[in-house]
Amino acid sequence: DVKVTQSSRYLVKRTGEKVFLECVQDMDHENMFWYRQDPGLGLRLIYFSYDVKMKEKGDIPEGYSVSREKKERFSLILESASTNQTSMYLCASSPGLAGFYNEQFFGPGTRLTVL
Amino acid sequence: AQSVTQLDSQVPVFEEAPVELRCNYSSSVSVYLFWYVQYPNQGLQLLLKYLSGSTLVKGINGFEAEFNKSQTSFHLRKPSVHISDTAEYFCAVKITNRDDKIIFGKGTRLHILP
């Protein structure tokens, strides 16, 4: 089974702190994604990556950055956390264009609260 | 650009009754279509997908969906719901020959009433 793990289920940080959210997948997938999920807004794409050291902005990249130094790991960084970044963060991975199904596999999510 | 509309944000239904969750998409090119389910305090998992072929797609937990190209719809159905189906359901679309971004709908919360 594909497994996507996220470093924390719950996280509480203070305004202005630098926050790292880690995601690891064990299926050698090329693509990895970070979403945030807010009530009534569904999933919104923050950043995604097609390959190591590659990254592309999603729909709401402001206030976030990412790092992908190894194929299996994709980190989301909040440079200076703000209260409007309180949300559920979901990581996902999928096989590349050569893959047959293109479905995304999700981690359990990290619920981040910024005080 | 493609988009996904889930027409109902919440759907209450009695246990053992049938349910339909509606999804419409807009795209000028061919697409793949997905339904994902999110149980309380969990990530999303794939319920079913349409890639090509038969327009009636069967998924896990007794769910099925029908692709209707003329109406650009992909509604999700279950003939008899159980309390364990309480969850949020997301419809999603992906362009078949483009990059791997999937566009998600805003979700429909299914409430099962005893």
Nearest residue in B to A10, CA atom: B41
pLDDT exceeds cutoff 90 at A44: yes
Structure tokens belonging to residue A55: 């990254």
pLDDT at B97: 65
The partner residue sitting opposite A106, judged by closest CB among B32, B44, B49, is B44
Residues of chain A with pLDDT > 90, as a percent, come to: 75
Q: State whether B106 and A40 contact (CB < 8 Å).
A: yes
Structure tokens belonging to residue A6: 């996220």
Q: What is the CATH number of the domain that holds A32?
A: 2.60.40.10
On whether the CB atoms of residues B112 and B81 are closer than 8 A, the answer is yes
pLDDT at B42: 87
Q: What range does the domain containing B106 cover?
A: 3-113
CA angle at residue B87 from B41 to A10, to 5 degrees? 10
On whether the CB atoms of residues A88 and A24 are closer than 8 A, the answer is no
Confirm or reject contact between B98 and chain A (CB < 8 A): no
pLDDT at B13: 97
Q: Is position A58 within any domain?
A: yes
pLDDT digits (tens, 9 = 90+) for B78-107: 999 999 999 999 999 987 766 667 889 999
Q: What range does the domain containing A24 cover?
A: 4-97
Q: State whether B106 and A108 contact (CB < 8 Å).
A: no
Domain count, chain A: 1
Burial string for A36-61 (b: 16+ CB within 10 Å, else e) reads bbeeeebbbbbbbbeeeeebeebeee
Q: Is position A108 within any domain?
A: no
pLDDT at B30: 80
Give the closest-approach CA distance of B86 to chain A in angstroms.
Answer: 16
On whether the CB atoms of residues A96 and A30 are closer than 8 A, the answer is yes
Contacts of residue A105 in chain B, CB cutoff 8 Å? 46
Q: State whether A101 and B106 contact (CB < 8 Å).
A: no
* Phi, psi of A55, rounded to the nearest 5 degrees: -150, 150
SS3 A50: coil
SS3 B60: helix
Q: Per-residue confidence at A96, pLDDT binned at 50, 70, 90?
A: confident
Q: What is the CATH number of the domain that holds B32?
A: 2.60.40.10
Q: State whether B43 and A41 contact (CB < 8 Å).
A: no
Q: Token match 């109902």: residue?
A: B8
Q: Is position A20 within any domain?
A: yes
On whether the CB atoms of residues A57 and A44 are closer than 8 A, the answer is no
Domain count, chain B: 1
